[in-house]
Amino acid sequence: MTLPEIAPPTCGPPESVLVVGASAGGLTTAEALRRKGFEGRITLLGDEPHLPYDRPPLSKQVLSGAWEPARARLRPEPALRALDADLVLGDPAVALDAANRTVWTESGRVLGADEIVIATGVQARVFPGQPDLSGVHVIRTLDDAVALRTELATARRLVVVGDGVLGAEVAATGRGLGLDVTLAGPQSVPMESQFGAWAGARLGELHTEQGVTLRLGTGVRELAAEAGRVVGVLLESGEQLPADVVVVAIGGVPATGWLVGSGLTCENGVVCDAMCRAADGIYAVGDVARWRHQGLGALLRLENRTNATEQAVAVAANILGADQPYVPVPYFWTDQYDVKVMVHGLVPAGAEIEVVEGDPAARRFVALCRTDGVARGVLGWNMPKQTRLHRQRVADALALAPAG
């Protein structure tokens, strides 16, 4: 693949910035621009009608009903007003002309700016040809979470299809609501691709103890339906799992459909250089951005909450002339039952695991994950502070890596 070759900005600071996407990445870009002294016009364009809200609580506090949806708002209204940005909500972007830095919206707006930031995130992936059945849900938006919560209130049997972080969290929340829950997915243990086999096995044990039925290591053949409503999930193994409600949590697809014809390279996200630039005057942040991580020497796209904000801060600085590569230590966390697991860095498949603090048997530990003797990740289980204190080992290894 050819990476975009973009000359560094040569003129002065821009007079206007348009941020497409009003979730964590987009909002933080606007905030960081103001914090760094940008006084020009900022437009924040969002496809949903809601004020900017946070997504990690959707599968947990919002789905369980512990929080009213408004609690998930990212900022109180006075803080949004203080940003002095034009907040345009409920109007999806439908096209971009990258060369002329112009965006068209569904309602017919035409928005131009000196610099454009793409922060449109991902959309929930569904099965190819998945029929439109009642009782089948995804969770990406606040409306998705509220709709699922409403339906779970009268359901008994929940089948979660997808053994990644979202599926595992939904399974845990479903058990908390007293439902019969089955978690199905193709990996041998839940969250294997994020945690590795060793910690994933511990997560599987936790779900089993909490009463979740695991059906792992098998794909899904089809959703079974009667009269337009889902009644079960048929696995590749031939087993049919009866269900009142099915949640499909099989990952996200970068929201780049609106960029067809824009002139940008979109391959599993908006392809960017090390400064997160997709083209002259065009940047991408958050789940949608696939940029060159110089520490890893590879294109990387991260779907996690902290990346959205950290990348936004980096992009705001680059818009204002910093010209600095974005070289983060990836981080994510998950809350399931009374367990909080977090990873700084990445856990490569087959990594050597060494417990450096705590005790897995006591369900509080920190594990260092090495490949060829190099610290690539640190995974913590109910020890957030201690895990962070080992983060520097991963940061040092990234900094020592040859720039790619």
Partner 1 sequence: MKVIVEEDKCCGAGTCVLVAPDVFDQRDEDGIVVLLDEAPGPDQHDAVREAVSVCPAAAIGLIES
**Which positions touch partner 1 (CB under 8 A)?**
24, 28, 31-32, 35, 54, 56, 73-76, 305-306, 309-310, 313, 331, 333, 335, 340, 342, 382-388
Residue with tokens 């103890």: 209
Residue with Cβ nearer partner 1 (24 or 250)? 24
Residue with Cβ nearer partner 1 (231 or 395)? 395
Burial category of 201 from C-beta neighbours within 10 Å (exposed 0-12, middle 13-18, buried 19 and up): middle
Residue with Cβ nearer partner 1 (44 or 271)? 44
Shortest distance, CB of residue 269 to partner 1, whole angstroms? 20
| Rounded distance between C-alpha atoms, residue 281 and residue 118, angstroms | 11
Shortest distance, CB of residue 59 to partner 1, whole angstroms? 13
Residue with Cβ nearer partner 1 (66 or 99)? 66
Shortest distance, CB of residue 388 to partner 1, whole angstroms? 4
Residue with Cβ nearer partner 1 (130 or 306)? 306
Residues ≥6 apart with Cβ < 8 Å to 326: 274, 275, 276, 291, 293, 310, 311, 314, 315
Shortest distance, CB of residue 240 to partner 1, whole angstroms? 37
Q: Is 64 helix (H, G, I), strand (E, B) or coil?
A: helix
Measuring CA to CA, which residue among 312, 286, 313 is closest to residue 300?
A: 286
Shortest distance, CB of residue 5 to partner 1, whole angstroms? 30
Residue with Cβ nearer partner 1 (79 or 99)? 79
Instruction: Mark 324-353 as b/e (b = at least 16 C-beta within 10 Å).
Output: ebbbbbbbbbbbbeebebbbbbbbeeebeb
Shortest distance, CB of residue 110 to partner 1, whole angstroms? 30
Residue with Cβ nearer partner 1 (34 or 202)? 34
Shortest distance, CB of residue 371 to partner 1, whole angstroms? 24
Shortest distance, CB of residue 93 to partner 1, whole angstroms? 23
Measuring CA to CA, which residue among 61, 46, 86, 55 is closest to residue 73?
A: 55
| Rounded distance between C-alpha atoms, residue 172 and residue 334, angstroms | 11
Backbone dihedral angles phi then psi of residue 375, each to the nearest 5 degrees: -70, 115
If you write DSSP's letter for every residue of 359-370 in order, what string do you get? EGGGTEEEEEEE
CB atoms within 10 A of CB 388: 15
CB atoms within 10 A of CB 299: 18
Residue with Cβ nearer partner 1 (236 or 338)? 338
Shortest distance, CB of residue 377 to partner 1, whole angstroms? 15
| Rounded distance between C-alpha atoms, residue 212 and residue 172, angstroms | 8
Residue with Cβ nearer partner 1 (265 or 307)? 307
Q: Which helix (H) or strand (E) holds 293?
A: strand 289-293
CB atoms within 10 A of CB 354: 11
